[in-house]
Every structure is written in C-alpha cells, then in structure tokens.
A and B are shown apart, each in its own frame.
Chain A
Amino acid sequence: METLGFLIDGFGVALAPHNLMFALLGAFLGTLIGALPGLGPANGVAILIPLAFSLGLPPETALIMLTSVYAGAMYGGRISSILLNIPGDEPAMMTCLDGYPMAQKGKAAEALAISAVASFIGSLVATIGLILLAPLLAKFALTFGPAEYFALFLLAFATLGGITGKNPVKTIVAACIGLMIATIGIDNTGVQRFTFGVLELYEGVDFIIAIVGLFAISELLFFIEARANGGTPKMAVNKLSLSFADIKAILPSSLRGGVLGFIAGVLPGAGASLGSFIGYTLEKKIVGKKGYFGEGDPRGVAGPEAGNNGASSGALVPMLTLGVPGSGTTAVLLALLISLNITPGPLMFTQNADIVWGVIAALLIGNFLLLLLNIPLVGIFVKLLSVPPMYLLPVVTMVAFVGIYSISNTTFDLYFMVAFGAAGYVLRKLEIPLVPVILGLLLGPEMEKNLRHALDIADGDWTVLWNSGLAISLWALAGIGLVLPYIVGPLLRRRMRQTAL
C-alpha cells in the first residue's frame, strides 16, 4: 500500500500546527463565502489568492487554506437555500426544494444540521474516492506525450461548457479570447508577441489580476444592475433537536449522493450542479411514494447536499492528476498552483508528493473541521448573512483591490483589473462564459508548448497530433463533449427546471 504511506506523510503535513490553523481559517472563510449571496466559491477563492500570495505562505499552506475555502464554500451554499429559499451558489439550488419547506415548518435548525452531516458524508466518500483514483490516473497520465496533452487540453475546453451549457460556439469564442490573451508577452523562443512595446506586458498578463477582475469586479457591476431594493429578510433558527435516529435515517441517502456526486465531479463537463441534481432525483426515485419530497423531507436535503459536496471533491481528481480543471473554482485553484510555481499534472504526484498528499489529507481534516464549525456555529453564519449586500460588496471589492495591489504595488495592475471587470460585465451580458476565458489564460502557454513540441519532433507533420490511439480517443471525446450539449442540454435543463418548480 504505497498510497497509505503517502497519505500518512500527508497527514504529517496537514496536521502541522500552522497548517491546521490556516485550514480552520479557510474553512471558516469558505463557509462565509458560500453563504453570502453574490459571492460564489470561484469568486471567493479568487479574491483570497493574491492575499495568500503576498503573505508569502509556503505552497502547501496556501493550498491547504484555499482547498479548505473551496470545501467550506460548498457547505456554506446551503444556508441561504434553507433559510431564504435563495441558493448561495448554483449547486445549492436543489437544496431549496426540501430545505426551505423544512425551515417553514420550524425545522430550520434540523435542516441545517442534516445538510451539514450529509455534506460531510458526501465529501468523505468522495475524498476516499479521490485517494483511490487519483494515483491510478496520474500513473496512466504519465504515458501522455505532447500530442496527447494537446488533445487533452482541447477536451478540457470542449467539455467546460458542461452538459447544461447553452451555446457551444460561445464557449469556443471565450476559450479563444483567453488563449489569445495568454499569447501576449515574450514566448519561449524569445520573440515578443502583441506587447505593443508596453513594458508591463513583456511578462504576459498576470492571470490572477484577470481572474479577480473578471469575477469580483464584474460581480459588483452585476449586483448594482440587479439590485433588488427592499429590507434584509429576517431569519430565525429554532433550537436544535436532532436525535441519532434522524441522522441514521439520512445515512443511506447521503452515501448514495456522495458516490454519485463523486462520479459527476470526476467526469469532464458534469460538475457539482449535476451532482446535486442527480442526488436529488435518485433519492426521489428510490424512496418513492413513502417520502414527502418537496414538502420538507430530510432525505431531499441530504441527497443533493451530499451530491454537490461529493462532486466538488471529485472535481479535484482531473485538476490534480491531469492539470485540467473541470469547473470554475478548480480553475482558480489551478491558477494558485501555477503561481506557486508548481507544474500541475501527473508529475506532481512524484515531484511534489508532499504537497499533493498534504492537500488531500487537509481535505479530510477540513471536513471534520467543517462539520464541527457548521453544527454549533451555524448561528454566527446566519447572523453574518443578514449584512446587507450594499455594505458587503463594496468592502469585498476593496479587499480585492488590496490583494492585487499588495502583489506588486503598482497602479497599472489595478487599472488592468478594473478593465477586466468591465470586460467581464460585457461578456456576461452577451452570455459568453467567463470560465473558458480563464482556462485559456491558464492553459494557453502549456498548450502552445505541447503543440510546438509535438510538431517539432515530427518535423512539422500535423498528423502527429492524432497518431496514437489515445490521442484519437481524446479528440473523439472532445468532439462529443462539444456536440452533446446541443442534443442533451435542452432536455436536461427542462428536467432540472421542472424539478425545481
């Protein structure tokens, strides 16, 4: 059991006092970020990256903190779903269906506790899946050559729109924009490209600035536009009365949700929203008429919550082993890896074994911390949730400014960030997805390097790109990934909407 040895070493890293402290901080901030409406997990992690960076945290500590934020955000999303019927993030949508009715019946505390337990079980199941699957996948990925990598990156872009995505052409447009921005700067043969002589552009566009601008600033602008006036809704949580039998009753649902969520998370293009959707519909099918779904059935809270937390751990598998993220938030985590000078991909498991396994162990520990945080302290999060967004969003924007400014102390970066924010607003208005833009920025240099490498070896023979069985399969999968949303997408979206109504 090689894996077990690595995992024990990983626990050694994750249990070091300062790492544990940052994990706790991350879990707390993450829950908060997930709970606050208008501050999704990708957004929250993006704002915290420059801070982790300018604090000069060691790579494993920075990663441990931000994976805890990531895990925490998935827990936090449920709070406003249950109390307000407003999902904190998209995957938490399904939790509204039975969570809110439970709260209306005066069982808000029970719903929150059950969802915390289900989130915990879902994450735990999926983290075990991650521990078993990731090393195998990493070993397999070691056989990839440059041509296979190029095809793999294409697959990542093709599936990023997701099965529920709308217009695949807009995904391509978004990816092209991101990749084009990535070509700005001096390339690896020393040629200056598209810098227009601007000194600040010689080293290329810093993707952290782009990410924070695209997410945080455009979110502020969107909120101003969508601002729904009106007071802050009052939220009350009753005193918790949960017996062991209640928890036992939701165990099977949570386990099933966790496994399904994990699978949905690993598969490219599926993601957490689909994980929670499948988790919910399966529970409804299995329990059948004995349940009272839609009217506050605890199993209808447990299934989707376990599903979306399982999916978020599952989504780490392709990110850690292949260097290819399957969602916006894992893309942001990838940005962190790259800026810490860690080359993501299969080699990470051998070259940076301590970091990878430290993070995986931190994920396990983080889940225990989150369970502890989320049951007794849920009241605090509920209080913080009632801070009106008109105060919250300007302060969050200010934190983004400070973070970017603290990296380089230049005003140029701040202008750049605001420009990206305004551009992000326009792109969102045009329904051009932002995640492919970011993925293009992140993967562009690596993708070009592999393309040039493959072609150089083959003396400019383009057929080398689809010369191996593996490469052909990846190309085929990419093709399917791009076309499938056209066929399945409308159907699936209709089903999800019907269930949600």
Chain B
Amino acid sequence: MRLNDRIFGIFLIVLAVAYGWGATQLPVPFGGSGAVGPDTFPLLLAGLLGLSSLYLVVRPDPDNAWPWNRTGIELLIAVVVLVLYAMLLAPLGFIISTALAVGTLCWRMGSRPLRAYLTGLVSGVVVFLLFNFALDLALPLGLLGFWEMG
C-alpha cells in the first residue's frame, strides 16, 4: 500500500494553497514594501511545498503500518494523559499532577500499578524539592498550597 504519502501529499497541497492564498492577503507594510514584501518568502515556500507534495502524490513511498489495534489505544491514552497533565498542572499542583501523570504512563507501559504511582509520587516530590529549593524556581503547589501557610 502506498496510501500514506498520497493522502499526506494531498493534505500538504491543500495546506500550500491555503498558505499561499493567506500570503497574498497580507497587508502592505507601512511606508510601502519596496521590492519585496512580507508575502515574497511565503509565496516561494508555498510554491516549493506544492511542487514537492505533488511529487509525493505521484511517486509515494511504501507505507508504514499504523497501529489500528490495542497499541493505538495505548498511544491515545498517552496523549490524553499528557494533555490532562498540562491542564491540571496548575490547579492540582505539581506534585499531585505529576504523581498521577507519570504513574499512569508507567502503569500503561507495563509496570505494576502500585510501583508505577509510587515512581510518579517520588519523582514528583524530588523534582519539586530540587526546583523550589536548590534551583529557586517556583513550581505550583496547587491543592497542597496549605503547606505554605504554616
């Protein structure tokens, strides 16, 4: 099968056209643009990308298989964990969110759950202490914020 490069090539051609069209819509800078404007370089890129993606569509390489199976779900879980980690870092605080995120990743990668979450907790605490005290960079405490009060 040589579908990957074909589909990606078509996607890139659309991208190149949209990007090139976007470049022609750019306003002329204050005081006139002189010989070359802000659109010159983008138009050059759009042309080059368009041509090379056309080549990909016409002469694609053999495909690498996509993981349409359990591995694919594991990958999806990993991405979701990372997004949630980013989302919860500030509200939950660094230590709790790290324990959860690193723990879940370790667990999904094959560790036993208890050891996984323990790894998450220990690494979170160590990095937190290292950053806040040795390196003087404040990481959010979040839910554990009451510690600071004391």
Point out residues on A near B: beta carbons under 8 Å.
54-55, 166-167, 169-170, 172-173, 176-177, 179-180, 183, 187, 189-191, 193-194, 217, 220-221, 223-225, 227, 229, 388-391, 393-395, 397-399, 401-402, 405-406, 411, 414-415, 417-418, 421-422, 425, 429-431, 447-448, 451-452, 455-456, 458-460
- Encoded as 1 (CB less than 8 Å from any A CB) or 0, chain B from 47 to 80 comes to 0110011011000010010110001001100110
User: Which residues on B sit within 8 Å (CB–CB) of A169?
Assistant: 52, 55-56
Contacts A224-B71, A397-B82 hold; do A430 and B36 have CB atoms under 8 A apart?
Answer: no
Question: B56 near A173 (CB under 8 angstroms)?
Answer: yes
Which listed residue (B30, B64, B78, B85) contacts A431, Cβ 8 A? B64
User: Which residues on B sit within 8 Å (CB–CB) of A417?
Assistant: 86
Which listed residue (A220, A397, A406) contacts B137, Cβ 8 A? A406
Chain B nearest CB: distance from A259 CB in Å?
37
Question: B111 near A452 (CB under 8 angstroms)?
Answer: no
Contacts A169-B56, A221-B75 hold; do A390 and B110 have CB atoms under 8 A apart?
Answer: yes
Q: How far is the CA of A431 from the CA of B9 in the complex (A)?
A: 13
Question: B45 near A224 (CB under 8 angstroms)?
Answer: no
Question: Which residue in chain A gives the minimum CB-CB distance to B53?
Answer: A173
Q: How far is the CA of A447 from the CA of B40 in the complex (A)?
A: 12
User: Which residues on B sit within 8 Å (CB–CB) of A167?
Assistant: 61
User: Which residues on B sit within 8 Å (CB–CB) of A422?
Assistant: 79
Contacts A225-B67, A429-B64 hold; do A452 and B127 have CB atoms under 8 A apart?
Answer: no
Contacts A190-B29, A429-B64 hold; do A173 and B137 have CB atoms under 8 A apart?
Answer: no
User: Which residues on B sit within 8 Å (CB–CB) of A55?
Assistant: 135, 137
Q: How many residues of B contact A (CB 8 A)?
A: 62
Question: A220 near B110 (CB under 8 angstroms)?
Answer: no
Q: How far is the CA of A501 from the CA of B136 in the complex (A)?
A: 51
Question: B52 near A172 (CB under 8 angstroms)?
Answer: yes
- Let me know if B109 is at the binding interface, CB within 8 A: yes
Contacts A180-B49, A390-B106, A452-B36 hold; do A193 and B86 have CB atoms under 8 A apart?
Answer: no
Chain B nearest CB: distance from A25 CB in Å?
12
Q: How far is the CA of A224 from the CA of B71 in the complex (A)?
A: 8
Question: A183 near B42 (CB under 8 angstroms)?
Answer: yes
Question: B40 near A224 (CB under 8 angstroms)?
Answer: no
Question: A455 near B38 (CB under 8 angstroms)?
Answer: no
Q: How far is the CA of A166 from the CA of B106 in the complex (A)?
A: 34
Which listed residue (A190, A388, A415, A429) contacts B86, Cβ 8 A? A415
Which listed residue (A187, A227, A393, A397) contacts B38, Cβ 8 A? A187
User: Which residues on A sit within 8 Å (CB–CB) of B38?
Assistant: 187, 189, 191, 193
Question: A460 near B36 (CB under 8 angstroms)?
Answer: yes
Which listed residue (B78, B89, B111) contacts A401, Cβ 8 A? B89
Question: A398 near B74 (CB under 8 angstroms)?
Answer: no
Q: How far is the CA of A390 from the CA of B71 in the complex (A)?
A: 15
Question: B40 near A451 (CB under 8 angstroms)?
Answer: yes
Contacts A169-B52, A421-B82 hold; do A191 and B26 have CB atoms under 8 A apart?
Answer: yes
> Can you add 12 more A-B contacts, CB < 8 Å, to A406-B131, A411-B89?
A173-B52, A176-B45, A183-B41, A190-B30, A193-B22, A193-B38, A193-B42, A390-B111, A394-B119, A399-B127, A414-B89, A421-B79
Contacts A191-B26, A421-B82 hold; do A430 and B5 have CB atoms under 8 A apart?
Answer: yes
User: Which residues on B sit within 8 Å (CB–CB) of A390?
Assistant: 106, 109-111
Give 9 nearest A-B pairs by CB, closest first: A460-B35, A414-B86, A394-B105, A189-B29, A390-B109, A176-B49, A191-B38, A448-B41, A394-B102
- Let me know if B83 is at the binding interface, CB within 8 A: yes
Question: Which residue in chain B gives the minimum CB-CB distance to A186?
Answer: B38
Question: B120 near A394 (CB under 8 angstroms)?
Answer: yes
Question: A224 near B48 (CB under 8 angstroms)?
Answer: no
Question: Which residue in chain A gives the minimum CB-CB distance to B127?
Answer: A402
Chain A nearest CB: distance from B102 CB in Å?
4
> Which of A176, A401, A402, A431 has the most chain B CB within a 10 Å cutoff?
A176
User: Which residues on B sit within 8 Å (CB–CB) of A388?
Assistant: 111
